[in-house]
Amino acid sequence: MEINPYVFRGYDIRGVAGKDFDAEKIEAIGKAYGTFLRRRKIRHAVAGHDCRLSAKEYHPAMIRGMRSAGINVIDIGMVMTQMVYCAQYLYQTNGGVMLTASHNPANYNGMKLATGYSQTTGPEEVQEIRKIIENDSYFVSDEIGGLEKRDVAGDYCADVLKRIALKRKFKMVVDCSCGTTGMYAPEIFKRAGCEVIGKNLKVDGSFPVGTPDPTEKKVVDRVARAVLEEKADLGVTFDGDGDRTGVVDEKGDILWNDVLVAIFAKEILERFPGSKIIYNTLCSQIVRESIKLNGGTPIMWRTGHSFIKAKIAGEKAAFGGELSGHFFFADNAYGHDDGIYAVLRVLEYLSEKNLALSQVYESFPKYISSPEIKIGCPDEKKTEVIRDLSIRFKQDFPNAEITDASVIPGDDGTRADFEDGMMIFRYSQNGPYITIKFEAKDQATYKKRKEYVRKLLESYPEMIWKDELCVNLESLK
């Protein structure tokens, strides 16, 4: 069967529903993943999906494909991604699939595929699944796999809450952007003892208020307005499947998630001095400096939740995080990304220190920092664009500290660190776009870097400036 090869991405499978996927193709992917599991002597898997409208057709197709390979499937229905990971432990199975396209627009869908407890596919495994489909080399079982439906919500909620103890009550805005978290997040925070002001809680896979993306400024600006109106202690929002979060403090100021990485690192290092902390190449210099100031060992690594999780395990690090809002706690949790648990950890730290959120990071190094900016670029051209752009980039800044694939194997971009900030260009592993971030310590330098980034990108006709995947383009004006 022919499937667009570009949907087989760096660590998951993702494309446009109705264009790259239909039920037949999803079933073929299910058969290939079932074959992948059987090769590893895995015969059981959990299966969940987020609220995207195409899941109604695709979720049963995925399960059919897996069962044809003899995989016994536990169907846990519409859930957040972290609930699939939780179900792996609950039902003791290495296999697991989550049907989701995370922060992509409503017309996208895809799969996060487990390779073990809390672990998901990397590039080699994704390509193995692609080759199984291309070669029609499916495992055909003598007996179709079993199917049972389970409700994991109660167990997940209990598991998360038993790890947290709040010493004071918080008033919080919870904006779910009509994503899957609307089914679960408000109730969990209420059970934790919080007063919840809910916004956009009705689950609607057409995403009527816009794509649930906690890195998008217009989304967190909406949360910030609600925080000020309600005089709340903080506000939070999530992506479509709930494994990522975004946070606004009590003053209505946005905390881009690299600042949250620094906050979590500070909290971890207070209890585990000298620990290794993993962060991705898109993070501000705030992260590296804060880790060092608090006695930790900073390790910058390749962007992507699968890559960061693997690096945390390999380095035996206590914590890792990404600018995108994936946070991985290895101290009192399973080490996978969970936006709900991350917010609870923020609340617990504030309650223990009796601080407002803005007070926690007021002593951090100060940078003027852009959000994560995404600009459309075709899958077949984005790698070449970044490769060419990186050559020009390094020529323009010969004295900068450069991080690229020669420093981090497999890295998908080029980062330049200066004495007063950083700049990075990379291509996305999960969509046809490139990602940019830049920062400086003063407004004049920030303005120069912004102009440099904009002019450099405008010189490439491949860039698509009006695209549904574009995010935070106003930060380049």
> Residue 466 is encoded by which pair of tokens?
């009006």
* Residue where a domain terminates, one of 233, 254, 275: 254
Q: For residue 338, what pLDDT is reported?
A: 97
- Residue 418 pLDDT > 90, yes or no? yes
How do residues 283-323 score in pLDDT, each as one tens digit? Answer: 999 999 999 999 999 999 999 888 999 999 999 999 999 99
Q: For residue 47, what pLDDT is reported?
A: 98
Distance from the first to the final alpha carbon of the chain: 45
Average pLDDT over residues 99-104: 95
- 315 and 439 fall within a common domain: no
Q: Are 319 and 277 in contact (CB under 8 A)?
A: yes
Each residue of 337-352: b (16+ CB within 10 Å) or e? bbbbbbbbbbbbbbbe
Q: How confident is the model at residue 332 (pLDDT cuts 50, 70, 90)?
A: confident
Q: Which of 54, 102, 428, 475 is catalytic?
A: 102
The answer as to whether 351 is a domain residue is no
Q: How confident is the model at residue 347 (pLDDT cuts 50, 70, 90)?
A: very high
- 185 and 320 fall within a common domain: no
The answer as to whether 352 is a domain residue is no
Q: How confident is the model at residue 126 (pLDDT cuts 50, 70, 90)?
A: very high
* Residue where a domain terminates, one of 238, 254, 270: 254
How do residues 105-119 score in pLDDT, each as one tens digit? Answer: 999 999 999 999 999
The answer as to whether 340 is a domain residue is no
- 22 and 148 fall within a common domain: yes
* Residue where a domain terminates, one of 205, 237, 254: 254
Domain limits at 306?
Answer: 256-335
Q: For residue 430, what pLDDT is reported?
A: 84
Query: What's the CATH number where 424 sits?
Result: 3.30.310.50
- 266 and 249 fall within a common domain: no
The residues, ordered by sequence, that sit 6+ positions from 195 with a Cβ below 8 Å of its Cβ are 169, 170, 171, 172
The answer as to whether 233 is a domain residue is yes
Tell me the helix, strand and coil percentages in the chain, rounded to 5. 40, 25, 40
Provide, rounded to the nearest whole percent, the portion of the chain with pLDDT above 70.
100
Radius of gyration of the chain (CA): 21
- Residue 13 pLDDT > 90, yes or no? yes
- Residue 62 pLDDT > 90, yes or no? yes
- How many domains would you assign to the chain? 4
- 170 and 263 fall within a common domain: no
- Residue 252 pLDDT > 90, yes or no? yes
Q: How confident is the model at residue 454 (pLDDT cuts 50, 70, 90)?
A: very high
The answer as to whether 117 is a domain residue is yes
- 9 and 146 fall within a common domain: yes
Q: How confident is the model at residue 12 (pLDDT cuts 50, 70, 90)?
A: very high
Q: For residue 305, what pLDDT is reported?
A: 87
- Residue 353 pLDDT > 90, yes or no? yes
- 323 and 384 fall within a common domain: no
- 57 and 148 fall within a common domain: yes
The residues, ordered by sequence, that sit 6+ positions from 192 with a Cβ below 8 Å of its Cβ are 161, 164, 166, 344, 347
Query: What's the CATH number where 281 sits?
Result: 3.40.120.10
Q: How confident is the model at residue 244 (pLDDT cuts 50, 70, 90)?
A: very high
Q: How confident is the model at residue 255 (pLDDT cuts 50, 70, 90)?
A: very high
The answer as to whether 194 is a domain residue is yes
- 169 and 230 fall within a common domain: yes
- Average pLDDT taken over every residue of the chain: 96
Q: CA-to-CA distance for 300 and 295, rounded, in angstroms?
A: 16
For residue 476, give the DSSP letter.
G
Q: Are 343 and 327 in contact (CB under 8 A)?
A: no
- 380 and 466 fall within a common domain: yes
The answer as to whether 271 is a domain residue is yes
Annotated catalytic residue 102: yes
Q: For residue 53, what pLDDT is reported?
A: 98
How do residues 372-381 score in pLDDT, each as one tens digit? Answer: 999 999 999 9
- 216 and 136 fall within a common domain: no
- 97 and 199 fall within a common domain: no
Q: How confident is the model at residue 25 (pLDDT cuts 50, 70, 90)?
A: very high
The answer as to whether 380 is a domain residue is yes
